[in-house]
Structures are given as structure tokens and as C-alpha cells.
Amino acid sequence: MGLELPEVLTIAQQMNKELKGKKIKNALLKNYDSLLKMGFIKSKPRELEVRLVKKSINSICGEGKWLFMQLKPEMQLVLGEILGKILFHKTKDSIPPKYNLLLEFEDNTLLTVIIYFYGFIMAVTHEELKQLKYPGKLGISPLAKKFTLPKFNDILEESSKEIIKAVLLDQKKIAGIGNSYLQDILFRAKIHPKRKVGDISIEERKILFNAITKTLKEALRLGGRNNEFDLYNKPGGYKPILDKNIKGKPCPECGKKIEKLNILGSTCYVCANCQK
């Protein structure tokens, strides 16, 4: 499913611990043609490598499904919508045989970015970043203090004709929820992913808001999902309630069979009995 907000924030914290203050000695981009064909890269190999070498890492922050590595002098390495791994290596011996980006630092530690199917890699200035379609201007983080019930209700009111799945996955509205956490959030709130936002009551909105914050906070505390990996190649501790492994099995709440649906071009797992 790819890295969502809990995984991104976990990796950002680990990257700050391991990489902050280090200087990039070498940068190598591989499998460029396939990344270019899919539109996941905006820099040519030599250009990207030149932009990164001799830059010092100032800080790393996570926002939505994106990691922003602030470099000195003024440059950013942007990694986003990653379906793959971002790994730290103390020595070259642990580098995987296949990767898309390798950064070697002056202390001989390394970072690799591995994209399995989908992901963006960009080395851009702050001004260039503003002009890019992706990530564009991201919406509010569902783990930010400003994400309150009134704020959430405002977002829903502006999207009353849409289905709830579309709103929760819209990164311009709420940044960081992907299709994986969506399943558990809607199940906990007992709301079907195809429900029109305008048909969701005030009380249901409160329950949904609490489901969002509870699910994501729990996942962050556990280091993300158990099928995604942190900077040290360690899986997270959050076990999804609904995923491909539960299709056709009894609902953990009512015992009815979990259904697999295709909604807005992606899979949803639903208990039709619990999620009306």
C-alpha cells in the first residue's frame, strides 16, 4: 500500500537522528528510464547527483505521504508516495542488490531508496518545489493540533456531495491517510466507504473524527504497519484490522463475511452488516 503518515513520521524522526548534519559525498540514481517513463522523477541522473553532492543535511520533516530533506546550501531532496523502502546503512555490506537512489555520506554511512512500483524522487530548490504538481499544497495533517473536530466538520461540509472515501484520501484536504489506514478508520467508525458525506450525521462525524485520530496515533506509537518497514528495515507493530488477509473471513465484530469492493479505482474491505 505504500508509506502513509505514521510510517513517514517514524522514518523522518529516525532520519533526523541518523543523518542530520551529515554531508553527502556521493549520489547515484539507478533505473532512471523506468522512473522517468512513469513520471516519478523530475531530474536527470547527472543533474540530480550534482545537486545532492557536497550538500549538508539540515533537517528532515514528514508531511502527508512525503519526506522533505532540507539541504544546505538551498536545496531539497523530496521523497514521496513511496511504495518501497528507505533504509539507513552503517556499512556498504548491507546495501541491497537493487535500489533506485543511493546516498553516501562523508562518514561512509549510506542511505538507499528502493521503489517497488510507485514513488517520487526529486532534488529541487524551494522555488522549483512550489511549481510542481506533486506534492502541491498538502492539506492539514490529521495528527496536527489544528486538526480539530470543527476543522474536520468544515472539510466535510465543503465536500457534502462526495463519498467519504474520496474525501479522506484527498491529500489536498487531509494529508497522510492512504487506502490502508482508511479501511480501519471506516470500520471503527461503522461507516461504509461509499456513504455520501452529506448523509453522515453530526454524531457519526464525531465517531469518525475519533477513529481517524485514534487509528493514526496508535499506528505512529507502534512505528507504522506490520507490512511496512522503518529506516532500519524493521516492520512496524500496527496490525491492520481489515486488509487482503481478511477477505471472506468473519468480521471481528459481528461474524459476517468481509467483502472486497472496488471503489474509486482501489480496493476496499467492508463489513456490509457493520458499515451501513
Task: Give the CA distances from residue 208 to residues 186, 204, 233, in Å, rounded to whole numbers and listed in that order.
Answer: 7, 6, 32
Q: SS3 string of the chain?
A: CCCCHHHHHHHHHHHHHHHCCCEEEEEEECCHHHHHHCCCECCCHHHHHHHHCCCEEEEEEEECCEEEEEEECCEEEEEEEEEEEEEEECCHHHCCCCCCEEEEECCCCEEEEEEEEEEEEEEECHHHHHHCCCCCCCCECCCCCCCCHHHHHHHHHCCCCCEHHHHHHCCCCECCCCHHHHHHHHHHHCCCCCCEHHHCCHHHHHHHHHHHHHHHHHHHHCCCECCCECCCCCECCECCCCCHHHCCCECCCCCCECEEEEECCEEEEECCCCCC
| One domain for residues 110 and 167 | no
**CATH number for 122:** 3.20.190.10
Structure confidence at residue 33 (pLDDT): 60
**CATH number for 183:** 1.10.8.50
Structure confidence at residue 276 (pLDDT): 84
**Domain annotation covers residue 144:** no
| One domain for residues 64 and 23 | yes
Question: Which of the four pLDDT bands, split at 50, 70 and 90, describes residue 247?
Answer: confident
| One domain for residues 251 and 157 | yes
Is it the case that residue 243 has pLDDT exceeding 60?
A: yes
Q: Over range 158-171, report the average pLDDT.
A: 97
| One domain for residues 201 and 155 | yes
Q: Which domain holds residue 66?
A: 5-131
Is it the case that residue 180 has pLDDT exceeding 60?
A: yes
Q: Which of the pair, 62 or 134, is modelled with greater confidence? A: 62
Q: Which of the pair, 4 or 30, is modelled with greater confidence? A: 4
Structure confidence at residue 134 (pLDDT): 82
**Domain annotation covers residue 138:** no
| One domain for residues 103 and 34 | yes
Per-residue pLDDT of 52-70, as tens digits, reads 999 999 999 999 999 999 9
Q: Which of the pair, 159 or 130, is modelled with greater confidence? A: 159
**Domain annotation covers residue 38:** yes
Question: Which of the four pLDDT bands, split at 50, 70 and 90, describes residue 41?
Answer: low
| One domain for residues 119 and 195 | no
**Domain annotation covers residue 142:** no
Last residue of a domain, one of 63, 98, 131: 131
Question: Which of the four pLDDT bands, split at 50, 70 and 90, describes residue 39?
Answer: low
| One domain for residues 58 and 155 | no
Is it the case that residue 164 has pLDDT exceeding 60?
A: yes
8 A C-beta contact, residue 237 and residue 226? yes
The number of distinct structural domains making up the chain is 2
**Domain annotation covers residue 162:** yes
Mean pLDDT (the chain, rounded): 93
Last residue of a domain, one of 131, 163, 192: 131
Structure confidence at residue 118 (pLDDT): 82
Question: Which of the four pLDDT bands, split at 50, 70 and 90, describes residue 112?
Answer: very high
| One domain for residues 123 and 162 | no
Could you give the percent of the chain with pLDDT greater than 70?
95
**Domain annotation covers residue 124:** yes
Is it the case that residue 37 has pLDDT exceeding 90?
A: no
**Domain annotation covers residue 44:** yes
**Domain annotation covers residue 164:** yes
| One domain for residues 48 and 125 | yes
Last residue of a domain, one of 98, 131, 164: 131
Structure confidence at residue 43 (pLDDT): 59
Structure confidence at residue 241 (pLDDT): 96
| One domain for residues 116 and 165 | no
| One domain for residues 153 and 99 | no
pTM: 0.94
| One domain for residues 160 and 108 | no
Is it the case that residue 157 has pLDDT exceeding 80?
A: yes
Q: Over range 153-157, report the average pLDDT.
A: 97
Q: Which of the pair, 45 or 234, is modelled with greater confidence? A: 234
Residue 142, C-beta contacts closer than 8 angstroms, at least 6 positions apart: 5, 174, 175, 176, 177, 212, 213, 216
Structure confidence at residue 187 (pLDDT): 98
